[in-house]
Amino acid sequence: MTAQPIIAIVGAGLMGHGIAQVFAERGHEVRVFDPMPEALASLRARIGANLSALGQDPAAAQRVLPCQKLADAVAGADLIIEAATENLDAKRALFAEIEAYAPAEAILATNTSVIPIGSIMAGLARPERALGTHWWNPPYLVPLVEVIGTDRTAPDIVARTMDILAAAGKTPVHVRRDVAGFVGNRLQHALWREAISLVEEGICDAETVDTVVKASFGLRLPVLGPLENADLVGTDLTLAIHETILPALNRQAAPSAYLRDLVARGRLGMKSGEGFRRWGTGDADQLRAALVHHLKDAVRKFGQGEPGQGDEA
């Protein structure tokens, strides 16, 4: 592998262009393939706009090469990251093509957020060089990347991938078992399941759920993770609390009937004007802008370096 690995990104959408931006900003040669011409045509402009908004040099976008052919994007690449649609069959078909064109020693990675990596990579001739790299949105602001190997991934592939990510300023973590949702989304959606249940059971409304999270333990999470918190209050107190609360929590394995009903009725959230809550014109843009501002401030405040780098009861 070269001192500065060549990166190929398959998919120029929301995640793909942001991942390309991270590597381009760090001086990598980055090639991006997307079957949609309009996505490629706007690729550099979108990256440049992101960099300008962050107060960084938009010229880094010129290190990103849009490619109209998959073979051109992956030729000579050291790390290939698929950031396409979240569909198992589509990803399997795409990796069959990627493997046909990729260099023999290239690392093959998928950016799936929940699909087990082994399911995606099952048809590869050399699954030992394949793994998951789950980035978080927006990838140029959120430091974490979950690195997930399968039971067939070679240990040196995991180590090389984590080294590349760390050198690019990210915070890679090794997920030791290939399970649906990995670590972050299992935690996040366990919270969402209980949040939906609270509304469904009439305990409170959706606005109250969001307010409680944002105005209480959510404020502590950047500096106090859940297991740090358990150790802080004591495992004995944690056990005592769990004896009371765990039997009362939602444990159903299927999606909520309340959530299914929202979707069936066309209440799809901000894009339809109503989901769990009602939303007006411009609310989504305001919320996204507030999120970006918060993430930029959080990255600086908690010593993560430049953007893109890396509770008590």
C-alpha separations of 21 from 13, 59, 255, 281 in Å: 12, 11, 35, 30
Residue 231 contacts by C-beta under 8 Å, 6 or more apart in sequence?
A: none
DSSP code per residue over 243-303:
HHHGGGS---SSPPHHHHHHHHTT--BTTTTBSSSB--TTHHHHHHHHHHHHHHHHHHHTT
Place of tokens 């550099």: 44
Cα–Cα distance, 227 to 231 (Å, whole number): 6
Per-residue pLDDT, 217: 97
Residue 312 has pLDDT above 50, yes or no: no
Share of the chain above pLDDT 70, in %: 95
CB hemisphere CA count around 205 (13 angstroms): 4
Span 227-267, pLDDT tens digits: 999 999 999 999 999 999 999 999 999 999 999 999 999 99
Average pLDDT score over residue span 196-202: 98
More confident residue, 2 or 128: 128
Per-residue pLDDT, 311: 38
Q: Grade residue 305 by pLDDT with cuts at 50, 70 and 90.
A: very low
Share of the chain above pLDDT 90, in %: 92
Per-residue pLDDT, 300: 75
Handedness of CA 87, 88, 89, 95 (dihedral sign): positive
Residue 35 has pLDDT above 90, yes or no: yes
Per-residue pLDDT, 199: 98
Q: Of 137, 194, 156, 180, whose CA–CA distance to 19 is shortest?
A: 137
Residue 304 has pLDDT above 50, yes or no: no
Q: Grade residue 299 by pLDDT with cuts at 50, 70 and 90.
A: confident
One-letter amino acid at 155 equals P
- DSSP assignment letter at 198: H
Span 110-136, pLDDT tens digits: 999 999 999 999 999 999 999 999 999
Cα–Cα distance, 257 to 260 (Å, whole number): 5
Query: Angle 178-184-187 (CA atoms, 0-180°, nearest 5)?
Result: 105
Tell me the two tokens of residue 150. 């399968």
Q: Of 142, 99, 141, 101, whose CA–CA distance to 124 is shortest?
A: 99
Q: Grade residue 307 by pLDDT with cuts at 50, 70 and 90.
A: very low
Return mean pLDDT, the chain: 94
Q: Grade residue 188 by pLDDT with cuts at 50, 70 and 90.
A: very high
Torsion of CA 165, 138, 184, 164, to 10 degrees: 0
Per-residue pLDDT, 302: 58
Residue 1 has pLDDT above 70, yes or no: no
| Helix, strand, or coil (residue 190) | helix
How big is the chain, counted in residues? 313
Cα–Cα distance, 118 to 92 (Å, whole number): 10
- On the 0-12 / 13-18 / 19+ scale of CB atoms within 10 A, 223 is exposed
Catalytic residue positions, numbered? 113, 134, 146, 185
Span 42-85, pLDDT tens digits: 999 999 999 999 989 999 999 999 999 999 999 999 999 999 99
Per-residue pLDDT, 149: 97
Residues linked to residue 66 through DSSP beta bridges, in sequence order: 32
